[in-house]
Amino acid sequence: MKHVLLFFFLFSFLGINAQDFYDVETIEEIRIYFAEDNWDEILDQYYIDGQEQRLLASVEINGELFDSVGIRYKGFSSVSTDRDKNPFNIKLDYIIDGQDYKGFDKIKLSNVIQDPSFLREVLSYEIARKYMPAPKANFANVFINNELWGLYTNVEAINGDFISDNFGSNNNPFFKCNPEELDFDGENANLNNSPGQDSTDYFSLYELRSEKGWSELLELIDVLNESPENIEEILQVDQTLWMHAFNYALVNFDSYIGYAQNYYLYQDDNGLFYPLIWDLNMSFGSFRFTDASEFFDGFSIEDAKTIDPLSHINSVSVYPRPLLRKLLENETYQRMYLAHMRTILEENFLNSDYLLRGETMRAVIDQSVQNDQNKFYSYQDFQDNLYTTVSDLIDYPGISDLMSNRTDYLMNLSGLSQAPTINAFDNSPQDLSLNGSMLFRLETENAENALFYYRYSESDWFTKVEMKDDGTSGDEIAGDGIFSYELLNTSNSIQYYFYAENEAAGRFAPERAAREFYSLFTPLEGNFLQINELMATNINTVADNEGEFDDWIELYNTSNNAISTAGMYLSDEPGNPTKWALPNVIVEADAYLNIWADENGGQGYDHANFRLSSLGEFLTLTYADGTILDSLIYPAQTENKSWGRIPNGTGPFEELFPTFGYNNEEMTGINNFNAVENVVIFPNPSTGSFKVQLSVNKWKGSIELYALDGKRLSLFQETISEGLYELQVQDRPASAGIYFLKIPFESGFQTFKVIIE
């Protein structure tokens, strides 16, 4: 069976613009034009004030001019009012909404301080992106009022756009983990629970970048510190281990493992927090002030070569680092962490690939470094520091000298050197089938245990199960090093990877799991996924994740099995059936997938690149090879009405009151439409938030909600427009079930059944 190896890029729109603007082989040209002659004094004062004010300027990027741009300094230790070359934070849409360059509205320019090589930040991010979501970075020549100000590193911002591109959503809890004032002898943003139990105790340590999230962060902190055995329910452990492995391998101590700062946290749609690495300008041992363990008062370059990656386990934690200690106290996590470190070393340092990449980058920027009259180190220092130590206020280790010695040290540790071997793996039968089963086998040497991780779509996280080598469950001979697991009730798409370990070490297949994984896929045979409903005139009925009333398309799985949307396309153009690739998600049996047709992919993976015409048009669901799963031509649409199938999923289309994500037949009964009073309640069923549309001239008083036992539930009522009201249940019902709305009219109360899930 051919196993397809895929990269863990969640969504296809990660694309081409990002590569263009952050191509390492290209030096960007950014020209800033300030109207004020004393612009630097103004920015200095803004920085001193600490309010993040911005100065207006015009900015030209590779010949494209942008007006009304907001500029301020960025960073902490890299900024100085006594310095000419300070880092910049450029906001292109500061005044003009939607203004961006190749999809980017914020540009972050670092001034390359603490790095005579000019390479640390760009090279480190390039390595990190192989294993985890991390910003792209390259170089830029920056001019101010047509005067060359110097060579900067151009680093992608970790903002809403970055989060959307990597996670398919950006409206979940999102934190920048940097304290307002760094405590050089304290805990900082270490995720310890010592500050207290109230969210206000953490306001100075973590910066909330989303509308909500404090309760979720406190839950993460509580689970991490008090019940780490449950940590996989709220933390993406594997990505955390990758971050730690990267920081220790590259001696990147201006991070969580040092002063517990310079990282972000985002909670994905599955409820898991991801740590995101940030600020790599002092990697490769440039920062050596603390490690919160045995070298709490700093360490030398020689120390850096042999710092124990398990120092918080084998030695002490002078300052609490629960994101390290609580995870690495779990022996399996510890072996996984070291397995990731071995992968980083083998793929970048044992083979000297980092030197080849460093030489390539150095050749690209050589002339620009010579031309930079505001650089902090000499051109000779730039030439030397890739290989040898450069001495200035501190000693900056030669990247090659540091990493060749560190690689030798790490590769001889037992947790890296005694790993099991994975010789082969296979599956039977060869092809997936709905409601079928699949036996996975893993052939190993020197392995005592094995785990199988699988998922049915990229929007989910992997489920972990134990493989057996006991002569049962498809394993023919006990103790032969061949592990097996039988997966029942498969979908038509599976993504998976393996992990094997012994008492000393572990190994993944593929090595970059879960950034990479294996994949099996079988196209559907039969029209199990149907276009079930659409709405082309959504005036104020259903809002998307941004609160916008956009067009939408509802797909419905008519089968008894989960179906993958991998390889499927939606289109409103007969001549272009692959206009928009559906996100690779799973639609459960008798479930729905709603797509926003708003031409705004930046708002999430479920936003298509086309809109629906209210005058009627063609719509189709296909595979790339042209296989049509469903298609229709719909007529001109009525405001706040939808076009859907009756019976649900199988019948012909007709005009409906919208049932976004629900059975279309829910809107055809008397419980939702009253011909006399003209009452519409939608969606019904709901999760406790629904709308009521009714005749205004007959409306009088307040709507009331009752349970079957007669208990009245409080409602929050908001007027959306004349005759349209939104109701939100304030005290959550004790259980799902049937409830009754009492609506007062001039002629008396009318009662309507609603279902709350």
CATH number at 604 reads 2.60.40
- The confidence score (pLDDT) of residue 676 equals 39
Q: How many domains does the chain have?
A: 3
Q: How confident is the model at residue 742 (pLDDT cuts 50, 70, 90)?
A: confident
Is the model's pLDDT at 131 over the cut of 60? yes
Nearest C-alpha neighbor of 50 from the set 81, 95, 27: 81
* Predicted pLDDT of residue 670: 32
Of all residues in the chain, what percent carry a pLDDT higher than 90?
69
Give just the sign of the alpha carbon dihedral 646, 651, 655, 660: positive
CA–CA separation, 329 vs 122, rounded Å?
33
Together in a domain, 661 and 676: no
Same domain, 549 and 630: yes
Structure tokens at 55: 């100065």
Same domain, 623 and 750: no
Cis peptide before 658 (omega within 30 of 0): no
pLDDT at 310 over 80: yes
Please give the residue that has the higher pLDDT: either 436 or 191. Answer: 191
- Ramachandran region, residue 583 (left: φ > 0; alpha: ψ -120 to 50; beta: rest): beta
pLDDT for the residue numbered 695: 56
Q: Comparing 86-90, 252-256, 571-575, which segment has the lowest mean pLDDT?
A: 571-575
Which residues, other chains included, contact 562 with Cβ-Cβ below 8 Å and sequence gap of 6+? Answer: 456, 491, 586, 587, 588, 589
Q: CB 375: neighbour CB atoms within 10 A?
A: 21
Residue with the larger pLDDT of the pair 15 and 128: 128
- Three-state secondary structure call for residue 516: strand
Looking at the fold, whether 550 and 643 belong to one and the same domain comes out as: yes
Of 521, 537, 558, at which residue does a domain stop? Answer: 521
Core vs surface per residue 67-78: b (16+ CB within 10 A) or e: eebbbbbbbeeb
Which of 376, 370, 172 lies closest to 282 in space, CA to CA? 376
Q: Is the pLDDT at 677 greater than 60, yes or no?
A: no
Cβ atoms of 121 and 283 within 8 Å: the answer is: yes
d(CA 252, CA 495) in angstroms, rounded, equals 32
The 10 Å Cβ neighbour count of residue 612 is 24
Q: Is the dihedral of CA 484, 486, 491, 492 positive or negative?
A: positive
CATH of the domain at 434: 2.60.40.10
Tens digits of per-residue pLDDT, 379-429? Answer: 999 999 999 999 998 999 999 999 999 999 999 999 999 999 999 999 999
Residues with Cβ within 8 Å of residue 308, at least 6 apart in sequence: 294, 314, 315
Residue 542 is assigned to a structural domain of this protein = yes
- Among 226-235, 418-427, 656-665, whose mean pLDDT is lowest? 656-665
Residue 466 confidence (pLDDT): 96
Better-scored residue on pLDDT, 18 or 586: 586
Task: Round to whole Å and give the CA distance between 12 and 237.
Answer: 24
Q: Contact 469/450 with Cβ under 8 angstroms?
A: yes
Rounded to two decimals, what is the model's pTM? 0.83
Are 722 and 633 part of one and the same domain?
no
Instruction: Indicate the residue among 479, 497, 521 that finishes a domain.
Output: 521
Helix crossing, 353-371 with 331-348: angle to 10°? 60
Residue 698 has pLDDT above 70, yes or no: no
Within a domain: residue 75? no
- Of 521, 548, 566, which residue sits at a domain end? 521
d(CA 711, CA 755): 15
What would the pLDDT profile of 166-192 be if each residue is shown by its tens digit?
998 888 999 999 999 999 888 999 999
**Confidence bin at 244 (pLDDT 50/70/90):** very high
pLDDT tens digits along 597-652: 999 877 778 899 999 999 999 999 999 888 999 999 999 999 988 999 999 999 99
Structure tokens at 440: 């996975």
Q: Which residue has the tokens 């397809």?
A: 4
Mean predicted confidence (pLDDT) in 524-541? 88
- Contact at 8 Å (CB) between 332 and 229? no
Same domain, 536 and 636: yes
> How many whole angstroms from its chain centre is CA 430?
33
Please tell me whether residues 577 and 636 are part of one structural domain.
yes
Write down the pLDDT at residue 488.
87
3-state SS of 684-718 is CCECCEEEEECCHHHECCCCEEEECCCCEECEEEE
pLDDT-based confidence at residue 709 (cuts at 50, 70, 90): low
**Per-residue confidence at 671, pLDDT binned at 50, 70, 90?**
very low
Q: What is the DSSP code (8-state) at residue 624?
A: T
- 478 in a structural domain: yes
- 331-348 in b/e burial notation, b at 16+ Cβ within 10 A? eebbbbbbbbbbbbbebb
345 or 688, higher pLDDT? 345
Amino acid occupying residue 532: N
Q: Higher pLDDT residue, 98 or 742?
A: 98
Which are the contacts of 4, defined by CB distance < 8 A and separation ≥ 6? 518, 519, 520, 521
pLDDT digits (tens, 9 = 90+) for 46-105: 999 988 899 999 999 999 999 999 999 998 788 998 899 999 999 999 999 999 999 999
> Are 534 and 650 found together in one domain?
yes
Continuous segment of H or E residues that includes residue 415: helix 414-417
Residue 15: its pLDDT value, please? 40
- Whole-angstrom distance, CA of residue 289 vs CA of residue 192: 21
pLDDT of residue 51: 82
How far apart (Å, rounded) are the C-alpha atoms in residues 321 and 259? 10
DSSP state of 459: T
Residue 504 covered by a domain? yes
Give residue 11's pLDDT: 36
For residue 645, being part of any structural domain is answered with yes
14 pLDDT band, cuts 50/70/90, is very low
pLDDT band, very low/low/confident/very high, at 472 (cuts 50, 70, 90): confident
Q: Residues 315-328: what's their mean pLDDT?
A: 96
pLDDT of residue 619: 96
The crossing angle, in degrees rounded to 10, of helices 237-249 and 331-348 is 50
Question: For residue 392, is it within any domain?
Answer: no
pLDDT of residue 143: 98
Q: How far apart are CA 264 and CA 262, in angstroms?
A: 7
The widest CA-to-CA distance across the chain, in whole angstroms, is 91
Rg (CA), the chain: 29
- φ and ψ at residue 386, rounded to 5 degrees: -65, -30
pLDDT above 90: residue 741: no
User: Tokens representing 256?
Assistant: 């969580």
Cα 599-600-602 angle, rounded to 5 deg: 155
Alpha-carbon distance of 33 to 451, in angstroms, equals 57
Listed residue (455, 508, 461) closest to 336, CA to CA: 508
Residue 704: exposure state from Cβ atoms within 10 A (0-12, 13-18, ≥19): middle
In the numeric block, which tokens belong to residue 264?
């972000």
Q: Judge whether residue 757 has pLDDT over 90.
A: no
Three-state DSSP class for residue 215: helix
Quote the pLDDT of residue 669. 40
Residue 354 resides in a domain: no
197-208 residue pLDDT tens: 999 999 999 999
SS3 category, 97: coil
Please check whether residues 494 and 548 belong to one and the same domain: no
Give the tokens for residue 724: 């349209």
Amino acid at 138: N
Report the 10 Å Cβ neighbour count for 572. 18
Residues of the chain with pLDDT > 70, as a percent, come to 92
Distance separating alpha carbons of residues 546 and 41, to the nearest angstrom:
39
How confident is the prediction for the chain on average, in pLDDT?
90
Let me know if residue 18 belongs to a domain: no
Same domain, 709 and 652: no
Range of the domain at 611: 529-665
744 pLDDT band (50/70/90 cuts)?
A: confident
Mean pLDDT of 142-158: 98
- Contact criterion met (CB below 8 Å) for 249 and 341: yes
CA dist 22 and 156 (Å) reads 8
Q: Are residues 569 and 616 in the same domain?
A: yes
Clarify whether residues 712 and 752 are in a common domain.
yes
The answer to whether the beta carbons of residues 129 and 19 sit under 8 Å apart is: no
